[in-house]
Amino acid sequence: MPTTEAHLLAGVARRCINPPPNIAHGGWGAQKHEQAEGIDMDLWVTALALSDQTTTAVILDLDIQILTNERADQIRSAVSRAAGIPVQNIRASATHTHSGPVPYKSWIEKGYEMVDPWFNDVARWSAEAAIEAVSNLQSICVRAGRGQCHINTNRRASTESGERFLGINPDGPCDREVLVVRVDSFDGKPLATLVNYACHPTIMGPPNRLITPDYPGAMKRVVEQAVGSKCLFLQGSAGDQGPLQGFQENTKVYRNFGAILGHEVAKVALSLDNIPAKTTFREIIPSGAPLGMYDCEFVTPAKLPLRVLDKEIPVPLREGLPEKKAATEKLGFWKSKLKAAREKNDQPAVTEAIYMARRADIQLRMADDFGGKTSAAVRTHIITFGDVALIGCNIEPFCEIGMNIKENSPFPVTFMSGYSNGRMAYMATADEWPKGGYEVENSPFGREAARVLTENILETLHNLRS
């Protein structure tokens, strides 16, 4: 039997967070529609409560594209008020599906009036799930393992002439590691499965008009059927990681990719209490052939207090950030061009105006958030228990940031996640920064930002482990 984590408790709960029909949808610069036309698969918020009877934390896994800092604060505050947990002990993590409601107003206007009320509902549903999870706290044991999955690729591709685009770059860095933490109740019943994997949920693209959770939603359903516990997906360092098939409308592809990842997760999770970490010979039983009997041991993380740290890490910004006035004027210009093109039913002009408005919107948000500043604070949320460290930041980190942190962490099992407690921008490594491309050109961070963030996180982890 597994060793019990006597002082570690957990509870889990879930709510459906489907938006209303015809909500503003997607947000792709290449899409022709503005509103969703249906729901292919339900969106969820799943809450995992952890407690060592002194400290309690809640992790929320939300099938949402982006949680802005303001939206994350709204959800965390609602959970804090309802569950009586300090807001700094609450993490709101987005799976980053690109086929959900738009997270903020840009060039899309139709259906946007539904977005604010929907987020109010999401905050309420998150609080309900958190209350239920906390009320279901029970003694647990924890195991962890790792696997590999090949549905992702480095997406920073380029043509022979050097033009950069989002596609497939087989020579670029790619993190295919699947990290799994399995949480079981005291009597051995599966309670929760935590998954960390790095890949943009962009299988569903501009032509898709349906609400979907993309591959993370399909993955969770496969894991839950196989393992028997609620599954939470904590998106990895996916800033430069994309799916091998992307930007389309065929729902079968995201379901199949999710199934591939889900079966790998299930394989790892099921092996943790079926494949021994160590066997010790006990005796031989006489039979037709002599039969060897062994005692089996299964590894569980060492007992340590549950620790939660919510901190801001300042990192340098780049020079020459967009100016708000110019970005505002450019967005206004392209929105008026879009309106005129639609009135004339000039589809080529509509296409150009949409992607230009989308680009102008990105520049305006950078100007709003970072104009006149030389540094910015990255929200960093760290939860540790046993040999497990769960790190979340409100950025889209390139995979090598996550790989570096995982490799050098003093915690044997380290999740490195972006898309947590808000969202600022992409963060490239120093090697990738001078290459330019979409992620670098639309990021406010300077070349050394990744190094500064990584060093600070690793120093913090070593302090927590000591």
* Residue 94 neighbours by CB under 8 Å, 6+ apart: 62, 64, 65, 66, 67, 235, 419, 420, 423
Joined together, the tokens standing for residue 430 give: 């120093």
**424 has pLDDT over 80:** yes
The yes-or-no verdict on residue 260 having pLDDT over 50 is yes
The pLDDT score that the predictor gives to residue 3 is 42
Phi, psi at 44, each rounded to 5°: -130, 155
What is the reported pLDDT for 2?
A: 43
Predicted confidence band at 63 (pLDDT cuts at 50, 70, 90)? very high
Distance between CA atoms of 66 and 119, rounded to whole angstroms?
A: 12
Angle of CA points 29, 30, 36, to nearest 5°: 85
Q: What is the pLDDT of residue 354?
A: 76
Tens-digit pLDDT profile for residues 372-392: 888 999 999 999 998 999 999
The pLDDT value recorded for residue 337 is 81
Task: Confirm if 170 and 156 have CB atoms less than 8 A apart.
Answer: no
| pTM metric for this prediction | 0.92
- In angstroms, rounded to a whole number, what is the distance separating the alpha carbons of residues 97 and 243? 12
Q: What local confidence, expressed as pLDDT, does residue 5 receive?
A: 42
The amino acid at residue 254 is Y
Q: What does the pLDDT look like over 428-443, one tens digit per residue?
A: 999 998 999 999 988 9
Range of lowest pLDDT (66-70, 106-110, 230-234, 247-251): 106-110
Share of the chain above pLDDT 90, in %: 76
Give pLDDT tens digits for 5-26: 447 999 999 999 999 989 999 9
Of 187, 130, 118, 147, the residue nearest 14 (C-alpha): 130
Length of the chain: 466
Residue 359 has pLDDT above 80, yes or no: no
Q: What is the pLDDT of residues 136-169, one digit of tens each?
A: 999 999 999 999 999 999 999 999 998 999 999 9
Cα separation, 63 vs 201, in Å, equals 10
Per-residue pLDDT at 262: 98
Q: Give 365-370's long-range contacts (Cβ < 8 A, gap of 24+).
A: 365/104, 366/321, 366/322, 366/327, 366/425, 366/442, 366/444, 367/321, 367/322, 367/323, 367/324, 367/327, 367/328, 368/324, 369/424, 369/444, 370/317, 370/321, 370/444
- pLDDT value of residue 302: 58
pLDDT value at residue 4: 43
CA-closest candidate to residue 397, choices 415, 373, 375: 415
The arithmetic mean of pLDDT across residues 336-345, rounded, is 81
Task: For residue 144, give the amino acid letter.
Answer: A
301-332 burial, b if ≥16 CB within 10 A, otherwise e?
bebbebebbbeebebbbbeebbeeeebbebbe
